[in-house]
A and B are shown apart, each in its own frame.
Chain A
Amino acid sequence: MALKKVDVVIVGVGWVGGIIASELTRAGLHVVGLERGRLRGRGTADFQDDHDELRYAIRNELFQNTANETWTLRHNLGEAALPIRQLGSFLPGTGLGGAGVHWNGQTWRFHPRDFTAYTSTVDRYGKSAIPAGMQIQDWGVTYDELEPYYDKFEYMAGIAGKAGNIKGQIIQGGNVFEGPRSREYPVRAQQTTELGALFQKAAQQLGYHPFPGPSANLPVQYKNPDGITRGQCTYCGFCERFGCEVGAKADPTTTVIPVALKTGRFEIRGYSNAYAIKNDGKHGQSVLYFDAAGKIQEQPADIIVMAAYVFNNVRTLLMSKLGQPYDPATGQGVVGRNYCYQTGGGGASGWFTGRRFKRYMGSGALQTAIDDFNADNFDHSGLGFIGGGSITSGSTGARPIQSLTTPPGTAPFGRDWKVAIQKYYASVISVGFQGESPAYQTHALDLDPNYRDQYGNPLVRITFDWEANERKMIAFAGTKTLEIMKAINPDIISGGPGSLPAHYDTSTYQSTHNTGGAPMGADPGTSVVNSYLQMWDVPNVFVVGACNFPQNAGFNPTGTVGALAYRAAEGILKFHKSGAGLV
């Protein structure tokens, strides 16, 4: 029997669910949030003594348990997909706050060109610049349209940074390549550590434009527009994969979720694992979910919001037969298309002999960056690839089990290795590259035919691999990070043209920037949702998150996800009044 109907049901209570709940409840709507994970044990008080590298960074306590539900991966359409049997390549969150509890806090805006990746590329380089099989698309929304929502997210979260472009005026010291902001960041930028300063100096010498990486970890106490005050970072060096014990890291549980709860109109149910939207093809009626006892519950609502991260947003639509499923063999359909990731590699490492840094101190977004080789910020003529990435270096924390980087030629174990780790643990500098991930016709998400989750429902199947464009991008990136490393001039350097392995590897961590599968756009033939993240076919269903990216840019996604969440909230309120399609 169905539960009592509510105005809105949101599946997933992380950044997206939290932001949308805070906006809707404030406007008077009654909202139920269904969170598959636990609600307790996820707050600041629970992380008081969480500086345990093994428990959180290696045994993955805060992330999805793949024993219950995982994903399968095939590199191409000809291969049988195999399950990702333990966490590796990416670490999706679960529980109240989702990945917003354990992220690093690196918070960016995508470039204006990123939103028109297809049109901009064709305009500048011609259609032939886009290799056969690549399927990049415009977003159906411009940077300028999204700017107010970026601003809203940054002020809510207290992002610390230095603007490089305010209303068209370029400001040195900020990111001179960024799109125009309406105003400065809400919090002053992080200071620079010794390691960051070495990178900054080298980048400047080479004529690049370094700036402090925008940080969701507060350098000073901050009170946001909702009246929530959070304290400053302790630079404990236990950021990514850990909860923040002082609330310095912007986290849905310390920002937007309390705002929603305070209205009295937000009910969150934990251990509630949604799997389908009951519908008649034109209208979503209710969300079906397994409760804590494993029983199926039905929650009817006027408006349904999917905020359950890339994989489960797409899986739920497919299970519900909402929207036209995408067929990677033909390129037809929309649900599951344009799955992308993040192209990492081409970094350089350096070792100083006799110079020690306090690498174990730091904060998740404490770094210096250059944007000179990202997006279309440089001329790609003759390079043979499109896109680029951000280059960063800094002090994000170096916990010992995972940070014993030794110079090339060091023995893999034994006395010589033991000597080397003592000599070099404190003396490593690395320059990293985080690149765009374009969409391809054959890369997609769909339902696996063989493997099931704990409830007997099919797992999501990912079809993905590195293609020639990314391989050439990474080779190029390696030459740039090496150039910077040479200017830093440590005693030993490892670098050069970067490479990706023969096939995408699911076993080693790279990034949790999975995107796509429910892309937004202006054309219902190639997108699932419109620019308010409202489904074209089913106007009372909103699907929101990184799943909306038609391809991934060369920056961390959360800033853009936050902006889209605020945009979706506005759209939902408009729809609540009009009952119609918004675009």
Chain B
Amino acid sequence: MSDEHRPGEEASDVSDSAASDGGTPPGRFSRLKLLKAGAVGIAGASAGGILAGPATAKTKPAPPPALLFLTKWEFDYVTAMAETIWPTDDLGPGAKVAGVGHYIDRQLAGGWGQGHRFYLNGPFLTPADSGHGWQIPMAPADVYRAFLPGFDTYVRRTYAKPYPELDATTQTAAMNDLRTGAASIPLGGSTAFSSADFFSLFRQNVLEGMLADPSYGGNQDMVGWKWVGFPGDPMRRGDVYYEYVFSSKPYPYEHKPLPMKPARGGS
């Protein structure tokens, strides 16, 4: 099971690495010192997500963040489906613990979900062949909102209960129906957006929710990064990758990830 996050742990990790570095290797640019100075000034904890605030040994766990787009029904559905993709089990935390439901909620409420970078002008034609990608007049938020009830209808008809109430094995079967297109859920014409397309979109969002920086609401306590062994923001410990990248020396912080700093630089 992953390390408990304790206050002050990050600061000591960074100052250890700063202290252990013997100095600037020959030929390296002097910016190394600037980066280390920045990294030592830790500004706040990472766990709990942006809305929940830092968790400390003394306070109660923060209340879950408000939903910004999904309804409670949709949130429960999405969380249950996300758990099928990346389950919470004896091996480790999964989508529910990591906050994937909140991640997806915030993404759907935000620019991407609302289609701000999608070209949604008509005419909308049925593609003659494969390879044309997204061809429906809907943004991802619309797709989720339209698709979930359709999927729910399919699941109730096929498996007698709504998805969140099914056991894990049956949920897996229902998810596979989605993935293979066996669950025929109408959304536009059959080539315009199939259940398999929704599965791809959803699985992608779950991966993001498990592995994006925790400030987006998922990957809480960096459980996703700890699971695969990704150290997070490489520069939080200063410029040290150089010492490892060309050798077989293991990187000691591989399973001790650090997220991005809260405040960005800029010009």
What is A's interface to B at a CB cutoff of 8 Å? 40-41, 43, 45-46, 48-49, 51-54, 58-60, 65-67, 70, 73, 75, 79-80, 82-88, 191-194, 220-221, 231-232, 234-238, 245-246, 356, 358, 360-362, 366, 395, 399-401, 404, 412-415, 417-419, 421-422, 425-426, 450-452, 501-507
The listed residue with most A CB atoms (<10 A of its CB), out of B117, B125, B251, is B117
B216 close to chain A: CB less than 8 A? yes
Asked if residues A395 and B129 are in contact (CB atoms below 8 Å), the reply is: no
Whether A79 contacts B128 in the complex (CB less than 8 A), given A41-B266, A48-B265, A49-B264, comes out as yes
* B58 in the interface (beta carbon within 8 A): no
Complex interface residues of chain B between 79 and 120 (CB less than 8 A to chain A): 84-87, 89, 91-92, 94, 111-112, 115-120
Contact B267 A43 (CB under 8 A): yes
Distance in Å: Cβ of A226 to nearest Cβ of chain B: 18
CB pair A360 B248 closer than 8 Å: no
**Alpha-carbon distance between A80 and B241 when the two chains are bound, in angstroms:** 50
B254 at the interface (CB under 8 A from A): yes
Q: List 8 interface pairs A-B (beta carbons < 8 Å), by A numbering.
A: A59-B117, A66-B118, A231-B28, A234-B242, A360-B234, A361-B245, A400-B211, A450-B123
Contact A67 B130 (CB under 8 A): no
- CB distance B251 to A75 under 8 Å? no
* Secondary structure dominating the interface of A: loop
Q: A144 vs B247: C-alpha distance in the bound complex, in angstroms?
A: 39
- Assess the B91–A504 pair: CB atoms within 8 A: no
Query: B228 and A51: CB pair below 8 A?
Result: no
Distance between B83 CB and nearest chain A CB, rounded to angstroms: 10
Q: Mask for B237-252, Cβ within 8 A of A = 1, else 0?
A: 0010110111110110
Are the CB atoms of B230 and A360 closer together than 8 Å? Answer: yes
Given A502-B131, A505-B131, 14 more A-B residue pairs with CB atoms under 8 Å apart are A43-B267, A45-B267, A67-B120, A80-B128, A86-B133, A191-B246, A194-B247, A235-B241, A238-B234, A360-B230, A360-B234, A361-B244, A361-B245, A362-B245
Would you call A232 and B29 a contact (CB within 8 A)? yes
Per the bound structure, the CA–CA distance linking A399 and B208 in Å amounts to 11
Contact residue among B91, B119, B241 (Cβ-Cβ distance under 8 Å from A84): B119
Residues of chain A within 8 A (CB-CB) of B267 are: 40-41, 43, 45-46
B129-160: contact bitstring with A at CB < 8 Å (1 yes, 0 no)?
11111110000000000000000000000000
B133 — which chain A residues lie within 8 A by C-beta? 84-86, 88, 505-507
B230 CB to nearest A CB, Å: 4
Q: Which residues of A contact B234 (CB under 8 A)?
A: 51, 234, 236-238, 360-361
Tell me, yes or no, whether B231 is within 8 Å of chain A by CB.
yes
Of the candidates B31, B85, B216, B232, the one whose C-beta lies within 8 Å of that of A54 is B216
User: Per a CB cutoff under 8 Å, which of B134, B264, B265 touches A507?
Assistant: B134
Does the CB pair B260–A246 fall under 8 Å? no
Report yes or no: A79 in contact with B84, Cβ–Cβ below 8 A. Answer: no
Query: Within the complex, which residue of B86, B231, B248 is in contact with A418, where a contact is CB–CB below 8 Å?
Result: B86
Per the bound structure, the CA–CA distance linking A287 and B121 in Å amounts to 28
Q: Are A421 and B228 in contact (CB under 8 A)?
A: yes
A-chain residues with CB within 8 Å of residue B128 when the two chains form the complex? 75, 79-80
Q: Report the separation of the CA atoms of residues A358 and B127 in the bound assembly, to the nearest whole angstrom.
A: 42
Which residues of A lie under 8 Å from residue B239 when comparing CB positions? 234
- Contact at A414–B118, with CB atoms within 8 Å? no
Interface size class of B (residues with CB under 8 A): 35 or more
B118–A67 touching, CB < 8 Å? yes
Residues of A within 8 A of B248 (CB): 194
Q: Determine the chain B residues whose CB is within 8 A of the CB of A48 once the complex forms.
A: 38, 264-266
The answer on a CB contact under 8 Å between B265 and A234 is no
Q: Which chain B residue shows the least CB distance to A450?
A: B123
Residue from the list B28, B125, B225, B246 in contact with A82, Cβ < 8 A: B125
Kindly state whether residue B213 has any CB partner on chain A within 8 Å: yes
Chain B residues near A52 (CB, 8 Å)? 212-213, 260
A193 to B246 alpha-carbon distance, docked (Å): 5
Q: What is the interface of chain B mostly: helix, strand, loop, or mixed?
A: loop
Q: Which residues of A sit under 8 angstroms from B94, Cβ to Cβ?
A: 418
Contacts of A40 in B (CB 8 A): 267
Which B residues lie at the A interface, using CB under 8 A? 27-29, 31, 38, 84-87, 89, 91-92, 94, 111-112, 115-121, 123, 125, 127-135, 172, 175, 179, 203, 207-208, 211-213, 216, 224-225, 227-235, 239, 241-242, 244-248, 250-251, 254, 260-261, 263-267
* Pairwise interchain contact B245-A235, C-beta atoms closer than 8 A: yes
Tell me the nearest residue of chain B to A68, going by C-beta: B119
Nearest residue, chain A, Cβ from B136 = A85
Write the nearest CB–CB distance from A455 to chain B, whole angstroms: 13
Give complex CA distance A43, B265 in Å.
Answer: 11
Residues of B within 8 A of A399 (CB): 230
Q: A49, A60, A418, A421: which contacts B261 (Cβ < 8 A)?
A: A49
Chain A residues with CB below 8 A from B208, complex form: 54, 58, 401
A residues in contact with B227, CB < 8 Å:
418, 421-422
Cα distance A504–B247 in the bound complex, in angstroms = 40
| Residue numbers in A under 8 Å from B134 (CB-CB) | 85-86, 507
Q: How far is the CA of A51 from the CA of B232 in the complex (A)?
A: 8
Pick from B87, B111, B230: contact of A425, CB under 8 Å: B230
| Min CB gap B198→A, angstroms | 14
Say yes or no: B85 contacts A413, CB within 8 Å. Answer: yes
How far does the alpha carbon of A66 sit from the alpha carbon of B112 in the complex, in Å?
Answer: 12
Q: Are B125 and A67 in contact (CB under 8 A)?
A: no
Contacts of B129 in A (CB 8 A): 75, 79, 502-503
Contact of A414 among B87, B112, B125 (CB under 8 A): B87
Cα distance A246–B133 when bound, in Å?
Answer: 36
- The reply to whether B117 and A86 contact each other, CB–CB distance below 8 Å, is yes
A193 touches B266 (CB 8 A): no
* Residues of chain B within 8 A of A505, CB atoms compared: 130-131, 133
**Which residues on the B side are within 8 Å of A45 (C-beta)?**
265-267
Bound-complex Cα distance A83 to B261 (A)? 38
A236: which B residues are within 8 A, CB to CB?
234-235, 241
A32 to B119, CA, bound (A): 31
Is there an interface contact between A451 and B121, defined as CB atoms closer than 8 Å? yes
Q: Are A507 and B117 in contact (CB under 8 A)?
A: no
A192–B228 touching, CB < 8 Å: no
The 10 closest A-B pairs by CB, nearest first: A507-B133, A48-B265, A231-B29, A503-B131, A505-B131, A54-B212, A45-B267, A236-B234, A425-B228, A235-B245
In the bound complex, residues from chain B placing their C-beta under 8 Å from that of A83 are 119, 121
Q: How far is the CB of B183 from chain A (nearest CB, A)?
A: 15
The answer to whether B121 touches A452, judged by C-beta atoms less than 8 angstroms apart, is yes
A57 to B115, CA, bound (A): 17
A477 to B31, CA, bound (A): 43
Is the beta-carbon distance between B117 and A413 smaller than 8 angstroms? no
Q: B119 touching A85 by the CB < 8 A rule? A: yes
By a CB distance below 8 angstroms, the chain B residues around A366 are 245
Nearest-CB distance from A249 to chain B (Å)?
14
Q: How far is the CB of B233 from chain A (nearest CB, A)?
A: 5
Residues of B within 8 A of A361 (CB): 234, 241, 244-245, 251
Question: Do B117 and A87 touch across chains, with their CB atoms under 8 A apart?
Answer: yes
Asked if A85 and B228 make an inter-chain contact with CB atoms under 8 angstroms apart, the answer reads no
> B62 to nearest A CB, angstroms?
23
Q: How far apart are the CA atoms of A143 and B27 in the complex, in Å?
A: 35
Q: Which of B119, B125, B242 contacts A66 (CB 8 A)?
A: B119
Give every chain A residue within 8 A of B212 (Cβ-Cβ): 52-54, 401
- Contact at B117–A234, with CB atoms within 8 Å? no
CB-CB under 8 A from A235, the residues of chain B are 241-242, 245
B263 to chain A, nearest CB (A): 8
In the bound complex, how far is the Cα of B116 from the Cα of A192, in angstroms?
42
Contact between chains at B27 and A501 (CB < 8 Å): no
What residues on A are CB-neighbors of B130 within 8 Å? 501-503, 505
Q: B132 is contacted by which of A51, A232, A506 (Cβ under 8 Å)?
A: A506
- Distance of A356 Cα from B244 Cα, bound (Å): 13
